[in-house]
Chain A
Amino acid sequence: MAEPRFDELIHAPHRLRICAMLSQAQGIEFGEILQRIELSKSALSKHLAQLVEAGYVAESSIVRSGYSRQLLALTPSGRAAYAGHRAALQRLMEEG
Protein backbone atom coordinates (compact mmCIF):
# COMPACT_ATOMS: atom_id res chain seq x y z
CA MET A 1 0.00 0.00 0.00
CA ALA A 2 1.42 3.37 -1.03
CA GLU A 3 2.01 6.16 1.46
CA PRO A 4 -0.93 8.61 1.21
CA ARG A 5 0.25 11.79 -0.46
CA PHE A 6 -2.22 14.25 -1.94
CA ASP A 7 -0.95 15.60 -5.25
CA GLU A 8 -2.53 18.80 -6.55
CA LEU A 9 -1.12 18.27 -10.02
CA ILE A 10 -2.64 14.81 -10.42
CA HIS A 11 -5.93 15.71 -8.75
CA ALA A 12 -7.16 17.93 -11.60
CA PRO A 13 -9.97 15.83 -13.17
CA HIS A 14 -8.47 15.34 -16.61
CA ARG A 15 -4.97 14.65 -15.31
CA LEU A 16 -6.36 12.17 -12.80
CA ARG A 17 -8.08 10.34 -15.64
CA ILE A 18 -4.89 10.37 -17.72
CA CYS A 19 -2.82 8.99 -14.84
CA ALA A 20 -5.47 6.36 -14.05
CA MET A 21 -5.57 5.07 -17.63
CA LEU A 22 -1.79 5.08 -17.94
CA SER A 23 -1.38 3.25 -14.62
CA GLN A 24 -2.75 0.03 -16.11
CA ALA A 25 -0.48 -0.11 -19.15
CA GLN A 26 3.14 0.30 -20.07
CA GLY A 27 2.11 2.96 -22.54
CA ILE A 28 -0.88 4.40 -24.41
CA GLU A 29 -0.79 6.28 -27.68
CA PHE A 30 -1.82 9.93 -27.76
CA GLY A 31 -4.70 9.23 -30.13
CA GLU A 32 -6.26 6.66 -27.80
CA ILE A 33 -6.08 9.01 -24.83
CA LEU A 34 -7.57 11.79 -26.96
CA GLN A 35 -10.43 9.55 -28.00
CA ARG A 36 -11.23 8.56 -24.43
CA ILE A 37 -10.82 11.88 -22.70
CA GLU A 38 -12.74 13.94 -25.25
CA LEU A 39 -10.62 17.08 -25.06
CA SER A 40 -9.17 19.09 -27.92
CA LYS A 41 -5.67 18.11 -29.02
CA SER A 42 -4.22 21.31 -27.63
CA ALA A 43 -5.98 20.95 -24.26
CA LEU A 44 -4.77 17.36 -23.90
CA SER A 45 -1.26 18.41 -24.92
CA LYS A 46 -1.27 21.04 -22.18
CA HIS A 47 -2.26 18.52 -19.51
CA LEU A 48 0.36 16.08 -20.75
CA ALA A 49 3.00 18.79 -20.83
CA GLN A 50 2.35 19.52 -17.17
CA LEU A 51 2.68 15.86 -16.29
CA VAL A 52 5.84 15.55 -18.38
CA GLU A 53 7.32 18.64 -16.77
CA ALA A 54 6.67 17.15 -13.32
CA GLY A 55 8.47 14.00 -14.39
CA TYR A 56 5.31 11.90 -14.06
CA VAL A 57 4.87 11.04 -17.73
CA ALA A 58 7.42 10.13 -20.39
CA GLU A 59 6.89 10.64 -24.12
CA SER A 60 8.39 8.58 -26.88
CA SER A 61 7.80 7.99 -30.57
CA ILE A 62 6.93 4.62 -32.00
CA VAL A 63 5.94 3.35 -35.42
CA ARG A 64 2.81 1.25 -35.73
CA SER A 65 1.14 0.25 -38.98
CA GLY A 66 3.58 2.46 -40.86
CA TYR A 67 2.72 5.63 -38.94
CA SER A 68 4.74 7.44 -36.31
CA ARG A 69 2.81 7.74 -33.07
CA GLN A 70 3.36 9.44 -29.75
CA LEU A 71 3.45 6.99 -26.84
CA LEU A 72 2.82 8.20 -23.30
CA ALA A 73 3.77 6.27 -20.19
CA LEU A 74 3.88 6.89 -16.46
CA THR A 75 7.43 7.12 -15.15
CA PRO A 76 8.34 5.32 -11.91
CA SER A 77 7.91 8.60 -10.02
CA GLY A 78 4.59 9.14 -11.79
CA ARG A 79 3.41 5.69 -10.73
CA ALA A 80 4.48 6.37 -7.15
CA ALA A 81 2.78 9.79 -7.16
CA TYR A 82 -0.43 8.34 -8.59
CA ALA A 83 -0.46 5.49 -6.06
CA GLY A 84 0.17 7.98 -3.25
CA HIS A 85 -2.62 10.22 -4.49
CA ARG A 86 -5.03 7.30 -4.67
CA ALA A 87 -4.13 6.37 -1.12
CA ALA A 88 -4.68 9.99 -0.02
CA LEU A 89 -8.12 10.03 -1.68
CA GLN A 90 -8.96 6.75 0.04
CA ARG A 91 -8.00 8.19 3.41
CA LEU A 92 -10.00 11.37 2.79
CA MET A 93 -12.99 9.29 1.85
CA GLU A 94 -12.71 7.13 4.97
CA GLU A 95 -12.44 10.19 7.20
CA GLY A 96 -15.80 11.41 5.95
Chain B
Amino acid sequence: METRDQGGRPTPEEARAALETANSEEEATRNRPVPAWYYPVLAVAVLALFLLNALDRPEGVLRGVAIGLTLAIALSVAVLVGRVSFRQTGYHGVRTRWGWVLGGAAIAAALAMTPVLLADSVGTWIWVPCGAVLAALIAGSGIAYQRRTGRG
Protein backbone atom coordinates (compact mmCIF):
# COMPACT_ATOMS: atom_id res chain seq x y z
CA MET B 1 0.00 0.00 0.00
CA GLU B 2 1.28 3.44 -0.84
CA THR B 3 -0.39 6.64 0.13
CA ARG B 4 1.14 10.02 -0.15
CA ASP B 5 3.60 10.77 2.63
CA GLN B 6 3.17 14.51 2.81
CA GLY B 7 0.71 17.03 1.48
CA GLY B 8 -3.02 16.66 1.02
CA ARG B 9 -5.64 14.38 2.40
CA PRO B 10 -5.95 10.86 1.03
CA THR B 11 -8.78 9.95 -1.31
CA PRO B 12 -11.52 7.67 0.07
CA GLU B 13 -9.82 4.73 -1.65
CA GLU B 14 -6.48 5.60 -0.08
CA ALA B 15 -8.15 6.00 3.30
CA ARG B 16 -9.72 2.57 2.94
CA ALA B 17 -6.38 1.03 2.00
CA ALA B 18 -4.66 2.73 4.94
CA LEU B 19 -7.34 1.48 7.34
CA GLU B 20 -7.02 -2.05 5.99
CA THR B 21 -3.26 -1.90 6.53
CA ALA B 22 -3.76 -0.62 10.08
CA ASN B 23 -6.32 -3.34 10.84
CA SER B 24 -4.01 -6.00 9.47
CA GLU B 25 -1.09 -4.81 11.62
CA GLU B 26 -3.27 -4.65 14.72
CA GLU B 27 -4.51 -8.17 14.08
CA ALA B 28 -0.94 -9.41 13.53
CA THR B 29 0.08 -8.02 16.93
CA ARG B 30 -2.90 -9.53 18.76
CA ASN B 31 -2.54 -12.93 17.10
CA ARG B 32 1.05 -14.03 17.22
CA PRO B 33 1.95 -17.06 15.11
CA VAL B 34 2.09 -20.43 16.82
CA PRO B 35 3.81 -23.54 15.43
CA ALA B 36 1.67 -25.20 12.73
CA TRP B 37 1.71 -28.48 14.66
CA TYR B 38 0.38 -26.93 17.89
CA TYR B 39 -3.37 -27.22 17.35
CA PRO B 40 -3.33 -30.67 15.68
CA VAL B 41 -1.16 -32.11 18.48
CA LEU B 42 -3.39 -30.52 21.12
CA ALA B 43 -6.51 -31.92 19.45
CA VAL B 44 -5.06 -35.45 19.28
CA ALA B 45 -3.88 -35.29 22.91
CA VAL B 46 -7.28 -34.11 24.15
CA LEU B 47 -9.05 -36.80 22.13
CA ALA B 48 -6.69 -39.43 23.60
CA LEU B 49 -7.48 -38.22 27.12
CA PHE B 50 -11.22 -38.54 26.53
CA LEU B 51 -10.86 -41.97 24.92
CA LEU B 52 -8.84 -43.22 27.89
CA ASN B 53 -11.68 -42.12 30.15
CA ALA B 54 -14.10 -44.02 27.95
CA LEU B 55 -12.47 -47.31 28.99
CA ASP B 56 -15.05 -48.91 31.27
CA ARG B 57 -13.27 -49.64 34.55
CA PRO B 58 -10.13 -51.34 33.22
CA GLU B 59 -8.51 -53.86 35.56
CA GLY B 60 -5.02 -55.15 36.26
CA VAL B 61 -2.18 -53.98 34.04
CA LEU B 62 -4.55 -52.17 31.69
CA ARG B 63 -5.74 -50.01 34.59
CA GLY B 64 -2.17 -49.00 35.44
CA VAL B 65 -1.37 -48.26 31.80
CA ALA B 66 -4.54 -46.17 31.43
CA ILE B 67 -3.80 -44.14 34.55
CA GLY B 68 -0.16 -43.64 33.55
CA LEU B 69 -1.07 -42.57 30.03
CA THR B 70 -3.77 -40.23 31.30
CA LEU B 71 -1.36 -38.51 33.67
CA ALA B 72 1.40 -38.32 31.05
CA ILE B 73 -0.90 -36.84 28.39
CA ALA B 74 -2.52 -34.39 30.83
CA LEU B 75 0.93 -33.20 31.94
CA SER B 76 2.10 -32.90 28.33
CA VAL B 77 -0.97 -30.85 27.40
CA ALA B 78 -0.39 -28.53 30.37
CA VAL B 79 3.30 -28.05 29.47
CA LEU B 80 2.51 -27.56 25.77
CA VAL B 81 -0.21 -24.97 26.39
CA GLY B 82 1.94 -23.21 28.99
CA ARG B 83 5.00 -23.01 26.74
CA VAL B 84 3.09 -21.73 23.72
CA SER B 85 0.84 -19.34 25.65
CA PHE B 86 3.39 -17.87 28.02
CA ARG B 87 6.63 -18.03 26.04
CA GLN B 88 8.73 -14.91 26.13
CA THR B 89 8.69 -12.91 22.92
CA GLY B 90 9.47 -9.40 21.84
CA TYR B 91 5.85 -8.48 22.45
CA HIS B 92 4.89 -7.10 25.84
CA GLY B 93 1.39 -6.69 27.21
CA VAL B 94 -0.45 -7.68 24.04
CA ARG B 95 -4.16 -7.00 24.22
CA THR B 96 -6.17 -10.15 24.77
CA ARG B 97 -9.69 -10.67 23.49
CA TRP B 98 -11.00 -12.09 26.73
CA GLY B 99 -14.45 -12.70 25.26
CA TRP B 100 -12.98 -15.27 22.87
CA VAL B 101 -10.69 -16.82 25.48
CA LEU B 102 -13.41 -17.17 28.12
CA GLY B 103 -15.93 -18.37 25.54
CA GLY B 104 -13.57 -21.10 24.39
CA ALA B 105 -12.74 -22.08 27.96
CA ALA B 106 -16.46 -22.30 28.81
CA ILE B 107 -17.15 -24.58 25.82
CA ALA B 108 -14.16 -26.80 26.70
CA ALA B 109 -15.26 -26.96 30.35
CA ALA B 110 -18.83 -27.87 29.33
CA LEU B 111 -17.59 -30.66 27.04
CA ALA B 112 -15.33 -31.99 29.81
CA MET B 113 -17.98 -31.79 32.54
CA THR B 114 -20.77 -33.40 30.49
CA PRO B 115 -19.26 -36.92 30.56
CA VAL B 116 -18.15 -36.48 34.18
CA LEU B 117 -21.75 -35.84 35.14
CA LEU B 118 -23.44 -38.29 32.75
CA ALA B 119 -21.05 -41.26 32.52
CA ASP B 120 -22.59 -43.08 35.51
CA SER B 121 -26.11 -42.82 34.14
CA VAL B 122 -25.63 -43.23 30.37
CA GLY B 123 -22.32 -45.08 30.22
CA THR B 124 -18.67 -44.19 29.64
CA TRP B 125 -19.24 -44.08 25.86
CA ILE B 126 -20.31 -40.45 26.42
CA TRP B 127 -16.61 -39.56 26.66
CA VAL B 128 -16.13 -40.48 22.98
CA PRO B 129 -18.50 -37.96 21.31
CA CYS B 130 -17.55 -35.23 23.77
CA GLY B 131 -13.86 -35.82 23.07
CA ALA B 132 -14.45 -35.92 19.32
CA VAL B 133 -16.39 -32.64 19.40
CA LEU B 134 -13.75 -30.90 21.54
CA ALA B 135 -10.88 -32.21 19.38
CA ALA B 136 -12.72 -31.05 16.24
CA LEU B 137 -13.25 -27.61 17.76
CA ILE B 138 -9.56 -27.33 18.67
CA ALA B 139 -8.45 -28.46 15.21
CA GLY B 140 -10.97 -26.13 13.55
CA SER B 141 -9.80 -23.21 15.69
CA GLY B 142 -6.23 -23.99 14.66
CA ILE B 143 -7.09 -23.97 10.97
CA ALA B 144 -8.96 -20.67 11.36
CA TYR B 145 -6.07 -19.18 13.35
CA GLN B 146 -3.45 -20.20 10.80
CA ARG B 147 -5.57 -18.78 7.98
CA ARG B 148 -6.06 -15.50 9.84
CA THR B 149 -2.45 -15.02 10.78
CA GLY B 150 -1.16 -16.43 7.51
CA ARG B 151 1.97 -17.64 9.25
CA GLY B 152 3.23 -20.38 11.42
Minimal beta-carbon separation of B130 from chain A (angstroms): 35
The answer to whether A20 and B1 have CB atoms under 8 Å apart is no
Minimal beta-carbon separation of A67 from chain B (angstroms): 11
What are 20 A-to-B residue pairs whose CB atoms are below 8 Å?
A11-B18, A13-B18, A13-B21, A16-B22, A17-B25, A20-B21, A20-B23, A21-B29, A22-B29, A23-B29, A25-B29, A25-B93, A27-B92, A28-B91, A29-B91, A32-B89, A64-B88, A65-B88, A93-B15, A94-B12
Collect the chain A residues with CB atoms within 8 Å of residue B150's CB. Answer: none
Interface residues on A, range: 20 to 34
Question: Residues of B within 8 Å of A, CB-based: how many?
Answer: 31
In the complex with contacts A13-B2, A96-B12, A25-B95 CB distance below 8 A? yes
Residues of A within 8 A of B (CB): 6, 8, 11-13, 16-17, 19-29, 31-32, 36, 64-65, 69, 71, 86, 89-90, 92-96
Q: How far is A31 from B65 in the complex, measured between Cα atoms in Å? A: 47
Q: How far is A36 from B94 in the complex, measured between Cα atoms in Å? A: 16
Q: How far is A71 from B92 in the complex, measured between Cα atoms in Å? A: 9
Residues of B within 8 A of A (CB): 1-3, 5-6, 9-13, 15-16, 18-19, 21-26, 28-30, 88-95
Collect the chain B residues with CB atoms within 8 Å of residue A23's CB. Answer: 26, 29
Minimal beta-carbon separation of B101 from chain A (angstroms): 15
7 further interface pairs, Cβ-Cβ under 8 Å (given A22-B29, A26-B93, A90-B15)? A13-B3, A13-B18, A17-B22, A28-B90, A86-B22, A89-B15, A94-B12
